[in-house]
A = this chain, B = another copy of it.
Protein backbone atom coordinates (compact mmCIF):
# COMPACT_ATOMS: atom_id res chain seq x y z
CA UNK A 1 0.00 0.00 0.00
CA UNK A 2 1.47 3.35 -1.03
CA UNK A 3 1.08 6.71 0.60
CA UNK A 4 -1.84 7.90 -1.51
CA UNK A 5 -3.93 4.86 -0.65
CA UNK A 6 -3.12 5.12 3.03
CA UNK A 7 -4.05 8.77 3.07
CA UNK A 8 -7.31 8.10 1.28
CA UNK A 9 -8.26 5.22 3.57
CA UNK A 10 -7.41 7.12 6.71
CA UNK A 11 -9.07 10.27 5.46
CA UNK A 12 -6.10 12.58 5.68
CA UNK A 13 -3.86 14.29 3.17
CA UNK A 14 -0.69 12.80 1.79
CA UNK A 15 1.14 15.74 3.25
CA UNK A 16 -0.10 14.87 6.71
CA UNK A 17 1.11 11.29 6.42
CA UNK A 18 4.58 12.48 5.53
CA UNK A 19 4.44 14.93 8.42
CA UNK A 20 3.47 12.17 10.85
CA UNK A 21 6.49 10.19 9.78
CA UNK A 22 8.68 13.25 10.13
CA UNK A 23 7.40 13.63 13.68
CA UNK A 24 8.05 10.00 14.47
CA UNK A 25 4.38 9.09 14.79
CA UNK A 26 4.42 6.63 11.94
CA UNK A 27 7.00 4.43 10.27
CA UNK A 28 7.14 3.13 6.75
CA UNK A 29 9.05 0.56 4.82
CA UNK A 30 10.67 1.89 1.71
CA UNK A 31 10.48 0.23 -1.67
CA UNK A 32 13.79 -0.35 -3.45
CA UNK A 33 13.21 2.93 -5.23
CA UNK A 34 12.43 4.87 -2.09
CA UNK A 35 8.66 4.94 -2.03
CA UNK A 36 6.89 4.53 1.31
CA UNK A 37 4.98 1.30 1.76
CA UNK A 38 2.41 0.58 4.47
CA UNK A 39 0.41 -2.30 5.81
CA UNK A 40 -3.27 -2.25 6.68
CA UNK A 41 -2.48 -1.63 10.34
CA UNK A 42 -1.15 1.81 9.53
CA UNK A 43 -4.62 2.97 8.59
CA UNK A 44 -5.74 2.52 12.17
CA UNK A 45 -2.53 4.06 13.34
CA UNK A 46 -3.18 7.23 11.39
CA UNK A 47 -6.75 7.39 12.67
CA UNK A 48 -5.51 6.97 16.21
CA UNK A 49 -3.03 9.77 15.78
CA UNK A 50 -5.79 11.94 14.39
CA UNK A 51 -7.92 11.30 17.42
CA UNK A 52 -5.12 12.27 19.73
CA UNK A 53 -4.65 15.45 17.72
CA UNK A 54 -8.35 16.11 18.05
CA UNK A 55 -7.99 15.66 21.77
CA UNK A 56 -5.57 18.54 21.77
CA UNK A 57 -2.35 16.59 22.19
CA UNK A 58 0.68 17.99 20.42
CA UNK A 59 2.74 15.87 18.09
CA UNK A 60 5.52 15.89 20.65
CA UNK A 61 3.23 14.52 23.34
CA UNK A 62 1.89 11.90 20.98
CA UNK A 63 5.43 10.95 20.08
CA UNK A 64 6.17 10.43 23.75
CA UNK A 65 3.11 8.28 24.19
CA UNK A 66 3.38 6.01 21.18
CA UNK A 67 6.52 4.09 22.12
CA UNK A 68 4.51 2.57 24.93
CA UNK A 69 1.82 1.54 22.52
CA UNK A 70 4.37 0.10 20.15
CA UNK A 71 6.84 -1.77 22.27
CA UNK A 72 5.72 -2.25 25.83
CA UNK A 73 8.72 -2.44 28.08
CA UNK A 74 9.39 -1.84 31.72
CA UNK A 75 11.33 1.40 31.36
CA UNK A 76 8.99 3.28 29.10
CA UNK A 77 5.74 2.05 30.57
CA UNK A 78 6.18 3.93 33.82
CA UNK A 79 6.90 7.23 32.15
CA UNK A 80 4.22 6.66 29.55
CA UNK A 81 1.67 5.74 32.21
CA UNK A 82 2.36 8.96 34.04
CA UNK A 83 2.10 10.86 30.80
CA UNK A 84 -1.21 9.21 30.03
CA UNK A 85 -2.55 10.07 33.46
CA UNK A 86 -1.53 13.67 32.91
CA UNK A 87 -3.21 13.81 29.55
CA UNK A 88 -6.28 12.11 30.89
CA UNK A 89 -6.57 14.80 33.54
CA UNK A 90 -6.07 17.53 30.99
CA UNK A 91 -8.69 15.93 28.80
CA UNK A 92 -11.19 15.70 31.63
CA UNK A 93 -10.61 19.31 32.56
CA UNK A 94 -11.12 20.34 28.98
CA UNK A 95 -14.32 18.33 28.72
CA UNK A 96 -15.66 19.95 31.87
CA UNK A 97 -14.84 23.39 30.51
CA UNK A 98 -16.63 22.66 27.27
CA UNK A 99 -19.69 21.39 29.09
CA UNK A 100 -19.76 24.49 31.23
CA UNK A 101 -19.48 26.66 28.15
CA UNK A 102 -22.28 24.72 26.50
CA UNK A 103 -24.41 25.33 29.55
CA UNK A 104 -23.67 29.02 29.33
CA UNK A 105 -24.68 28.94 25.69
CA UNK A 106 -27.87 27.13 26.62
CA UNK A 107 -28.80 29.75 29.19
CA UNK A 108 -28.06 32.45 26.67
CA UNK A 109 -30.32 30.78 24.16
CA UNK A 110 -33.07 30.33 26.69
CA UNK A 111 -33.04 34.02 27.50
CA UNK A 112 -32.96 34.81 23.82
CA UNK A 113 -35.92 32.60 23.11
CA UNK A 114 -37.87 34.15 25.95
CA UNK A 115 -37.05 37.62 24.74
CA UNK A 116 -38.09 36.65 21.27
CA UNK A 117 -41.40 35.30 22.51
CA UNK A 118 -42.12 38.41 24.53
CA UNK A 119 -41.27 40.60 21.60
CA UNK A 120 -43.53 38.58 19.35
CA UNK A 121 -46.35 39.17 21.83
CA UNK A 122 -45.67 42.89 21.76
CA UNK A 123 -44.74 42.79 25.40
CA UNK A 124 -41.80 44.91 26.39
CA UNK A 125 -41.20 43.65 29.88
CA UNK A 126 -38.55 44.51 32.39
CA UNK A 127 -36.25 41.71 31.34
CA UNK A 128 -33.09 43.66 30.90
CA UNK A 129 -31.18 40.51 30.02
CA UNK A 130 -28.98 40.07 27.04
CA UNK A 131 -30.82 39.10 23.95
| Chain A interface (Cβ < 8 Å from any Cβ of B) | 48, 51-52, 54-56, 68-70, 72, 74, 77, 80-81, 84-85, 87-88, 91-92, 94-95, 97-102, 104-106, 108-109, 112-113, 115-116, 119, 130-131
Q: Distance (Å) between the CB of A37 and the closest chain B CB?
A: 22
**Contact indicator A98/B101 (Cβ below 8 Å):** no
Q: Distance (Å) between the CB of A64 and the closest chain B CB?
A: 13
In the complex formed, the residue of B with least CB distance to A52 is: B101
Q: Which residues of B contact A55 (CB under 8 A)?
A: 97-98, 101-102, 105
26 CB contacts below 8 A, A to B, read A48-B104, A51-B97, A51-B100, A51-B101, A51-B104, A54-B97, A54-B98, A54-B101, A55-B97, A55-B98, A69-B108, A70-B130, A72-B112, A72-B115, A81-B109, A81-B112, A81-B113, A84-B109, A85-B109, A87-B105, A88-B102, A88-B105, A88-B106, A91-B102, A91-B105, A95-B95
